[in-house]
Structure 1
Amino acid sequence: MKYSKIAYILALLVLISSCKKSFLELSPISNANTNAVFKTKSDFDLATNAAYATLYTIYAPKGAMSFTGELMSDNATVSTLAISGSFTIVDQQAFRDYTVASNNTGVYQFWVDYYTSMYQINIVLDKIVDADLDDAYKKQIIAEMKFLRGLYYFNLVQLYGDVPLVTKPIIGEEAYAMKRTPKADVYNFIVEELKAAATDLTEPSSEPAKGRATKGAAKSLLGKVYLTMGDKAKAAQILKEVVDSYGGSKYDLLPSFTSLWGNTTAQKNTKESIFEIQYLGGAANPYSSFWPAFAPFENFSITKYGGGMNMVTDDLYNEYEDGDTRKDASFYTGYTKGGVFVPIKFNKKWVDLTAPLDGGAEACNNNFIVLRYADVLLLLTEATGDPQYMNRVRARAGLPLFGSAGYPAVKYPTIDLAVEHERRMEFALEYQRWFDLKRTGRAVAVLTAKGKAVNANKLLLPVPQYSLNQNPNLAPQNPGY
C-alpha cells in the first residue's frame, strides 16, 4: 500500500465524518459523501487504498474480531484496570463474561465499524463500473473489493446472524428502510463474491503489491466459509486446490514458527502468508498496536502503557504439550519491575521492543496475518479427516505426529478433537478460537465446562439497540436479548 496516500484518504474521511456525523450514525449503515468524484486511475487507487485501510479498524486489538475471537473464548481475559478506549471496561468485560446487552457500546461500535468500512468498498464498486479505465485494471479492482466485501460479510454473519446485505452506497432514507437478510442468503452471497474474486484476482506473489488480495486468498477464505456452512466436501475441494496449486511453490510453512513474528522485513509477507494486513512503524505511518494493547496494564517496563487486553488464561497456556516450540514463541510468563518479577502471561507474537513512541503509544512495526498456510492445512484436515495436513503443522512445532506412539491420544482421541487442539495452539491470540468452536458446534460444551455463562443464543451478538430504535425494520432482535 502507498502509506502516504492512505494517511491522506483517512484524514479526508475523518473530515467527512466530522461534517456528516448524522450520516455516520444512521443504521444499518454509515455513509460518507456519496457524490464523491471518481474519474482517473489515481482516484481509484486512492479509494482502493482507503478500502484496504478499513482492515486497520476491523482487525484492531480492540475491534470486533479480537473481542469475540479471543475474549469470548477460553483463551483470554481482560485486566480489571484495562484502558477503556471508546467504551467502558464494564462493556469490555461483558464479552468475556457473556453478559453482553443490546445497549453495549462495543456491540454498536462494531456494527458501525463494519458498515462504515463496507461503504468504502461499495463506493469503489459502484463508481468503477462506468469509469473510463483499462478493463484489466477495472476487473482487478472489482475482484479485490469483492474479496474484502466477502470477508467482511463473513465476519458480520458470524457475529450477528441475519444482517442487512448492503451492496451499494445508500443514502439516509434507504438506510432507514433496510431489513436484515437471512443468514443463509448472506452466506450464499459471500460464496458468490469469493468465487468471482478467485476468478479475476492475480496469482499469489505476483502484482499487485503485498497486502492485496490474490486468488490464493479468495480460495482459502472460501474453503473456510464452506466449512462454516457445514459443507465439508466443497471445503475439501477448494482447500485441496490451494494446496495442490500453490503448496511448496507459492505457499509453505516456514521452518520455524518463531520466524512468523517480529518487526523486520524478513518476518513480513513470508511464504506462509496468504493475506496480511500491512503496517509500518513510526508515528508518521500506519503502525500496529497489538503489542502494547496485549501487554499487561501498568507495567511501564515492557511498554510505556500496557492495554491489559487479551491476557492469556492459564487454561490456554497449560494446554500446550511438553516440547511444543509454539508456547515460548507465543507468550511471556511475566516481566520484571523494580527488580521484582511480576508473574502474568501475555502476548509475545507482536512484540516490538524497539518501537518509537507516538505520544504515549508505541508505533510498532509488525503486520497482522488474517490467513496463513497453516490455517489451510488444518482446515483441510478438518474437512477431510486426513491427518497428513495437520501433521505437517505438528512436525514444525516439534511434536509427535497424530497416529504415532508419542501422540497424546488419551486427551485427543479423535481427529476432530486433535484438530481443535492443534488450531488452539497454532493460532493463540490470532482471533480464531471462538469462531473455530462455533464452526464445529463445540462452543457451548467447551466454554460451559470452563465456567462461561454461555448458551446457544449467546453465540450471536445482539443487534445494537440504538440501531433498532432508529430503524425498526431491523427487528426482530436476536433471541436471548
Structure 2
Amino acid sequence: MKKIKRILAITFVCVMACSCKKSFLELSPVSNANANNFYKTKADFEVAINSAYATLYVIYAPEEAVSYTEIMSDEGTLYAVAGAQADKWAIRDYTTTASNTLIYQYWQDYYKALFNINNVLDKIQAAGLDAAYTNRVKGEMMFLRGLYYYNMVQLFGGVPLVTKVISTEESYGILRSPVADVYTQIVSDLKFAVDNLPLANAVPAVGRASKGAAETVLGKVYLSMGNKTAATQVLQDVYNSGQYSLLPQYASLFGANVKNTKESVFEIQYLGGSASNPYSPYWTAFAPVTNGVITKYGGGINQVTDDLYDEYEAGDPRRDASIETGYTDAKGNFVKIKFPKKWEDRTAPTSGTQELSNNNFMVLRYADVLLLLSEATGDATYLNQVRARVGLAAFGSPGYPSAQYPTLALAIEHERKVELALEFHRFFDLKRTGRALTVLKAKGKAVTEQRLLLPIPQYVITQNNKITQNPGY
C-alpha cells in the first residue's frame, strides 16, 4: 500500500494517477498519463473503471473488516495467528479500542476505494460520451459505492458521506452522517444501478456488476432497514430474471478453477499462478499457522469454531465441503484443527510464503437470494429449494428438525449459517435480524449493544476533533 505524506482526518484524498490498471486481472500500469487530461475516451475510462473494481481485492481481502466479522460471530475464531496478534484477538473478543491499528487500516482502505469510485463518477459526467455508456459506468460505480457504504454502516454506524472528489480543506468539513442518511445514499446509489445496469448475460466483461447484483444488495439493504415489502419486490425480480440457478451439487460451487457459474451473482476475479497477478489469498490466510504442509505459510485467520461444525444436520454434505478437520504434518501425525475448505488450492504454485491460488470469491450468490426471499416474504418455498439441493427435509415436513428450529425465522437463521458458512455473512445477518446479542452472548461472546459497532479510529478524531466517537469507546 502506498504511503501518503499527510494522513487526512477521514482519509478522503489520495493519489490516483498511478493506481489505474490495464485490466481487472492485470495489475501492471498502462501509462503515466496525468489524471487531469487522461479521461477523454472510453478506453481511458475502462482503465479507471478497472482501477475502481480492483479495490475489491482490498475490501474483501482476508484481513479486512468484512472478513473479520467472522471472528466477531460464532463461526470463526483465532488460535495462533500471524501479524498484529493483539489487535486481531481484541476484535474477536470484543475488547478492541479506538487505537486498534487494523480498524484504522479498514477506515483508510474504504475511503481510498471511495476516492477511486468518485473519481470515475466525477470525470465521466463531463466527458461527453454517449448516454448509454455513461449511465452504465455510473451504475457500476454506484453499485460499488452502495456496497461499500452498506458494509461501512454495518461496521461503524454513521460515517462521513463523500460522493465526489474533494480537497483536503473540504474533507475537514464533512462529519459523520446519521445512519438514516447513509442508508438514503445507499438506496439512491443502488436504485440508479438497478435502473442502468444490464442483466448478467449482457455485462461487458466478466466480473462487472449486473442488474441482479445491484438488486441483491438493495434487497439486503431494505431488509436491514425493516422494509420487507421493498425487499420482496427487488429480490423477486432477481428470482424471476432467469439469470441464476442453484448448481446441482453444493461441492461444485468451490474449487480453484470454478468461476462465474450460474449460481454466482457477483464474484471477485482472481488469477493464480504468478506473483504479478491478483492471486487468491484466502487459502493461505485461512490455513493454520503451524501447518507448514498444506501451505508453506498459514495466516491462522477465521479458524472454524466447534459451534459452526456442530450446526450441521446429520447427512448434510455442506459440512465436509466447507470445513477441514485437520491436517497431516510432516511426521505423518494428524493435527486436529478446523479451518475453511472452500478456497482450498493444494496444488497452487508458490512465491515466497504465498500460495498463488486461483480461487475466485463470491460476494453474492443465488442461494443467498433465495434465503433472503424467505426472510422477506415469510414463505419457506425458497428456503426449501436450498435444502432440496443437499437432500435435506423441507421446513414444515415431518423430517425437519423443528424442535431445534421451530419458527421460519430460526430456520432461515440456521440455513444461512450452514449454507453460507465462512463467506462473510453471519455477523451482518445477526445484526440485520436483531439477533446478534441474543445469539452471541449465548455463545460466550462478551458483546454489548454498543460493541456491535467498531470504534471510529482514534487517529481520525485526533486529526479532526469534530468527528464523534461511537458510544462505549
TM score, norm. by length of structure 2: 0.94
1:264-284 CA deviation, whole Å, 9 max, x = no partner? 1xx210000000000000222
Please state how far the C-alpha of 1:40 moved relative to its aligned partner.
2.1
Q: Show the counterpart of 1:332.
A: 324
1:38-66 CA deviation, whole Å, 9 max, x = no partner? 22222211110000000000000001101
Q: Show the counterpart of 1:64.
A: 65
Summarize the alignment of residues 135-214 of structure 1 with structure 2, pairs less than 5 Å apart. Answer: 135-214=131-210
Question: Could you tell me which amino acid in structure 1 is paired with residue 302 of structure 2?
Answer: N
1:424 matches 2:417 = yes
1:128-150 CA deviation, whole Å, 9 max, x = no partner? 11113232221111110010000
Q: Distance in 1 between matches of 2:229 and 2:174?
A: 34
Give yes or no for contact 2:270–2:279 (8 Å, CA) kept in 1.
yes
1:75 matches 2:75 = yes
Question: Could you tell me which amino acid in structure 2 is paired with residue 374 of structure 1?
Answer: A
Query: What is the aligned counterpart of 2:285 among 255, 271, 293?
Result: 293
Please state how far the C-alpha of 1:33 moved relative to its aligned partner.
4.9
Q: Distance in 1 between matches of 2:65 and 2:353?
A: 24
Query: What is the aligned counterpart of 1:385 among 373, 378, 386?
Result: 378
Please state how far the C-alpha of 1:28 moved relative to its aligned partner.
4.5
1:108-139 CA deviation, whole Å, 9 max, x = no partner? 11000100000000000001111132322211
Question: Could you tell me which amino acid in structure 1 is paired with residue 394 of structure 2?
Answer: L
1:27 matches 2:28 = no
Q: Distance in 2 between matches of 1:354 and 1:21?
A: 41
DSSP-derived class of the 2:201 partner: coil
Q: Show the counterpart of 1:281.
A: 272
User: How many percent of aligned residue pairs carry the same amino acid?
Assistant: 59
Please state how far the C-alpha of 1:25 moved relative to its aligned partner.
4.5
Query: What is the aligned counterpart of 1:453 among 439, 446, 454?
Result: 446
Q: Show the counterpart of 1:434.
A: 427
DSSP-derived class of the 2:334 partner: strand
Q: Show the counterpart of 1:271.
A: 262
Please state how far the C-alpha of 1:152 moved relative to its aligned partner.
0.5
DSSP-derived class of the 2:142 partner: helix
DSSP-derived class of the 1:21 partner: coil
Question: Could you tell me which amino acid in structure 2 is paired with residue 242 of structure 1?
Answer: V
Q: Distance in 2 between matches of 1:202 and 1:295?
A: 38
Q: Distance in 2 between matches of 1:347 and 1:447?
A: 21
DSSP-derived class of the 1:318 partner: helix
Q: Show the counterpart of 1:119.
A: 115
Give yes or no for contact 1:336–1:342 (8 Å, CA) kept in 2.
yes
Q: Distance in 2 between matches of 1:299 and 1:221?
A: 37
1:318 matches 2:314 = no
Please state how far the C-alpha of 1:26 moved relative to its aligned partner.
4.1
Please state how far the C-alpha of 1:30 moved relative to its aligned partner.
3.8
Q: Distance in 2 between matches of 1:449 and 1:26?
A: 38
DSSP-derived class of the 2:177 partner: coil
1:245 matches 2:259 = no
Give yes or no for contact 2:11–2:112 (8 Å, CA) kept in 1.
no
Q: Show the counterpart of 1:257.
A: 250
Please state how far the C-alpha of 1:340 moved relative to its aligned partner.
0.5
Please state how far the C-alpha of 1:21 moved relative to its aligned partner.
3.0
Give yes or no for contact 2:247–2:253 (8 Å, CA) kept in 1.
yes
Please state how far the C-alpha of 1:207 moved relative to its aligned partner.
3.0
Give yes or no for contact 2:255–2:344 (8 Å, CA) kept in 1.
yes
Question: Could you tell me which amino acid in structure 2 is paired with residue 50 of structure 1?
Answer: S
1:444 matches 2:437 = yes
1:108 matches 2:104 = yes
Q: Show the counterpart of 2:26.
A: none
Question: Could you tell me which amino acid in structure 1 is paired with residue 126 of structure 2?
Answer: D
Please state how far the C-alpha of 1:29 moved relative to its aligned partner.
2.1
1:416-449 CA deviation, whole Å, 9 max, x = no partner? 0000000000111100000000000000010001
Please state how far the C-alpha of 1:298 moved relative to its aligned partner.
1.8
1:473 matches 2:466 = yes
How many residue pairs are counted as aligned between the two chains? 453
Q: Show the counterpart of 1:93.
A: 89
Q: Distance in 2 between matches of 1:89 and 1:170?
A: 35
Please state how far the C-alpha of 1:474 moved relative to its aligned partner.
1.2
Give yes or no for contact 1:332–1:347 (8 Å, CA) kept in 2.
yes
After TM superposition, the structure 1 stretch with the greater mean CA deviation from structure 2, 327-336 or 198-207, is 198-207
1:139-191 CA deviation, whole Å, 9 max, x = no partner? 11111001000000001111101100000111211112211111101101111
Q: Distance in 2 between matches of 1:355 and 1:453?
A: 39
1:180-238 CA deviation, whole Å, 9 max, x = no partner? 11110110111111111111101112131111001111111110000011111111111
Question: Could you tell me which amino acid in structure 2 is paired with residue 74 of structure 1?
Answer: D
Q: Distance in 2 between matches of 1:405 and 1:206?
A: 43
Q: Distance in 2 between matches of 1:126 and 1:363?
A: 36
Output the aligned Cα RMSD.
Answer: 1.2
Q: Distance in 1 between matches of 2:470 and 2:416?
A: 29
Question: Could you tell me which amino acid in structure 2 is paired with residue 27 of structure 1?
Answer: I
DSSP-derived class of the 2:460 partner: helix
TM score, norm. by length of structure 1: 0.92
Q: Distance in 1 between matches of 2:302 and 2:204?
A: 34
Query: What is the aligned counterpart of 1:411 among 404, 407, 410?
Result: 404
Q: Show the counterpart of 1:360.
A: 353
* Shift in alpha-carbon separation, 1:165–1:414, aligned structure 2, 3 A: same
Give yes or no for contact 2:203–2:210 (8 Å, CA) kept in 1.
no
Question: Could you tell me which amino acid in structure 2 is paired with residue 82 of structure 1?
Answer: V
1:309 matches 2:301 = yes
Question: Could you tell me which amino acid in structure 2 is paired with residue 239 of structure 1?
Answer: L
1:235-257 CA deviation, whole Å, 9 max, x = no partner? 111111211223xxx10000011
Q: Distance in 2 between matches of 1:147 and 1:431?
A: 19
Q: Distance in 2 between matches of 1:30 and 1:404?
A: 56
Give yes or no for contact 2:218–2:231 (8 Å, CA) kept in 1.
yes
Q: Distance in 1 between matches of 2:130 and 2:271?
A: 31
DSSP-derived class of the 2:72 partner: coil
Q: Distance in 2 between matches of 1:171 and 1:355?
A: 44
Question: Could you tell me which amino acid in structure 2 is paired with residue 161 of structure 1?
Answer: G
Q: Show the counterpart of 1:8.
A: none
Give yes or no for contact 1:204–1:215 (8 Å, CA) kept in 2.
yes
Give yes or no for contact 2:287–2:299 (8 Å, CA) kept in 1.
yes
DSSP-derived class of the 1:125 partner: helix
